[in-house]
Amino acid sequence: MTQSPHQSNSLVVRQALWALQKEVLNSLKQQFDREVGYNAAPTEWFQVLMTAERYVWLRELTSLMADIDIMTELEFITEQHAGTAKSEIERMLFEQHSSDSFNKHYRDLIMVDSSLLPLHNTLRAALQNLPQMSLTKEQALAERKSWQEEHRQQSRKKRN
């Protein structure tokens, strides 16, 4: 299997995004624990994350992360794949004047919890190694769906 030049850079971005998501969830759990006055058990916290309306905004990040996991498992990561990943992450996390729900909640959280800033900056630095693409949200979503189809085809081919 030939690896693309974007393979290792995409994996670094994936790692940085996972680390940031983990810290976002830790920060939200600490806020929740302060609000309820006790340390919620992991099962209770998971249930709250899945059902509470106030955390619906996290689903967009979870979806993107699942798609990036799929992309990094592809046999060959193209410039289009890597550029789409960069475009989507930048849209969600780094756009200054976004009306996107995730972006707004995320920016509010960074203002309250400065422990997110080092991971935010690590992700920003990792993204610099991916190609720049200008895509609309709809184009990026279509590209992400194509990753899933390509992954399914590669999995079928490996089984046969």
Is the predicted pLDDT of residue 32 greater than 90, yes or no? yes
pLDDT at 157 over 90: no
126, 67 Cβ separation under 8 angstroms: no
pLDDT of res. 29: 96
Torsion of CA 138, 142, 143, 147, to 10 degrees: 150
User: Could you give the number of structural domains in the chain?
Assistant: 1
Token pair of 68 as six digits: 């990036």
Q: Mind listing the pLDDT tens digit for each residue in 50-91?
A: 999 999 999 999 999 999 999 999 999 999 999 999 999 999
121 close to 96: Cβ distance less than 8 angstroms: no
Residue 18 lies in a domain: yes
Mean pLDDT of 121-143: 94
- Structural domain includes residue 1: no
Which range marks the domain in which residue 143 is found? 6-159
For residue 48, being part of any structural domain is answered with yes
Task: Please write the tens of the pLDDT for every residue from 87-118.
Answer: 999 999 998 777 788 989 999 999 999 999 99
CA distance 116 to 23: 7
With cut-offs at 50, 70 and 90, classify the pLDDT of residue 4: confident
41-53 confidence digits (pLDDT tens): 999 999 999 999 9
Q: Look at residue 144 and tell me if it is in a domain.
A: yes
Average pLDDT in the 142-154 region? 93
What is the overall mean pLDDT for the chain? 92
Q: Please give the structure tokens belonging to residue 115.
A: 């422990």
Residue 59 in tokens: 């689903």
Q: Is 132 helix (H, G, I), strand (E, B) or coil?
A: coil
Look at residue 11 in the predicted model and tell me its pLDDT.
95
In a domain, 37, yes or no: yes
User: Which residues, 6+ apart, have CB-to-CB distance to 144 below 8 Å?
Assistant: 64, 67, 71, 84, 88
Crossing angle between the packed helical segments 137-159 and 58-72, to the nearest 10 degrees: 40
Task: Measure the CA–CA gap between 123 and 13, rounded to whole angstroms.
Answer: 6
- Categorize the per-residue pLDDT at 1 as very low, low, confident or very high, splitting at 50, 70 and 90: very low
